[in-house]
Chains A and B, each alone.
Chain A
Amino acid sequence: MAKNNNPSRPTSGKTQSQKTRPQRTTARPLVILAVGVAAALAIAMYLSSRGEEPTTTLGAPVLADVSGAGHVQGAENPAITLVEYGDYECPHCAEYHLILSDVMRRLPNELALEFHHYPLPVGPNSITASLAAEAAGEQGRYWEMHDALFETQRQWSGRTDAREIFTSMAGQLGLDTARFRQDLESDEIGSRIIADKLRGNALQITGTPTFFINGQRLNYLPASADEFEELLRSIMGQ
């Protein structure tokens, strides 16, 4: 920038021009930024709330047998058996536990749930939680522990003292805690978890929860109990 070496040349002219030039303001970009983010939010909310139906709800029948050897609850002679491969430490599974519990209450005579363990490697307590459910099952309280594990997931997920927490939960369920501790170390119980995991691997499960209905993989997870019920009723009506 050239210097003003002429002492007679007033510098006030430059100052004047600066005064008359529009001031740089951050207000305009901030408004545009807010409008842009709001527009993106609105479009995303619109798209995600359209309730788009999948083109294929159920995948092709899988070759491996998806059912059997899992814990089953629900209707004695179900029209539909929903097979779930889940991980007790997976947050998405905990969300679907609530949804499924609601759906089970709505379809008490039509629906049965068969749960299989699919502990993911990322959960430090996933396997221990599965062992806890099986250990409770040894004393006839599998589903009570299953429910308790999902409902209290935030309290034990990622903690180093999860085994103690599970034992405390077993005590609250009225189980023999000494036997429960022993069963947590049982090779036989551990082998059940491994068998489930291998079965899941054979089914090419990569995420949890994964559901199968009548041997077909559910490609689309309904967003609510209402949607899940609607889906199951539509399958029953076929």
Chain B
Amino acid sequence: MSPRPVVLLALSFLGMVDTLYLAFTRGAGLPVCHVTEGCGDVLTSAYSEVGGIPLPWFGFVFYAVVFAAAVFEVTGGIAALRYLRWPTLAAVAVSLILTGIQGFVLEAWCEYCLTSGALSTLIFLTVWTARRPPDIAGTV
């Protein structure tokens, strides 16, 4: 079996922990930065929520979907990873925008947000470098 689903399992699990940690700490104090400076600035900024919902919850939903697809691929024999191509592309695009906001608008960095951006990029690369399944090859 390809190690790809297992890699995705690990990456998405880390992503769930990261985003849940951000969601929990954002609601009760703020996480402490160890590497960067500005976790508080980023997480309390005007860009930290959409429609009143903190962004980490959107991230958690994304990682949970990737985790679910990887679990089904590994244990259920269902080729679920092919459905992740466009969601992972969207996630990387959003991560790039948010990283840009940190760097150019807020001029503050949140290491947990950067970790999430790195994880979503690795997930994107893992999914998009996979050979496309024969049943959808040539259909796009």
Residue numbers of A with Cβ under 8 A of B are 24-26, 28-29, 32-33, 36-37, 39-41, 43-45, 47-49, 52-55, 90-92, 120-123, 204, 206-210, 219-224, 227
Contact = CB atoms under 8 A, between A and B. Distances in A.
B17 A207 contact: no
30 contacts: A24-B77, A29-B68, A29-B71, A29-B75, A29-B76, A33-B67, A36-B9, A37-B64, A40-B17, A44-B24, A47-B21, A48-B24, A55-B32, A90-B46, A92-B44, A120-B46, A121-B46, A204-B107, A206-B106, A206-B108, A207-B42, A207-B45, A207-B46, A207-B108, A208-B44, A210-B41, A219-B40, A220-B29, A221-B30, A227-B29
Interface residues of B, number: 41
B21 A221 contact: no
Contact of B13 (A40, A220, A227): A40
A29 B46 CA distance: 38
A220 B67 contact: no
Interface in B26-47: 28-32, 34, 37-38, 40-47
Contacts of A223: 28-29
A87 to B, nearest CB: 8
Contacts of A55: 32, 34
Contacts of B31: 48
Contacts of B64: 37
B75 A32 contact: yes
A29 B34 CA distance: 36
Contacts, number: 104
Nearest to B102: A206
Interface string B63-97: 01001100110111110000000000000000000
Contacts of B16: 36-37, 40, 44
Contact of A123 (B42, B46, B78): B46
A122 B76 CA distance: 45
B133 interface: no
A55, A92, A222: residue with the most chain B Cβ atoms closer than 10 Å? A92
A91, A207, A220: residue with the most chain B Cβ atoms closer than 10 Å? A207
Contacts of A122: 46-47
A237 B52 CA distance: 39
Nearest to A24: B77
B20 interface: yes
B121 to A, nearest CB: 20
A53 B13 CA distance: 26
Contact of A224 (B9, B28, B32, B76): B28
B32 A52 contact: yes
B25 interface: yes
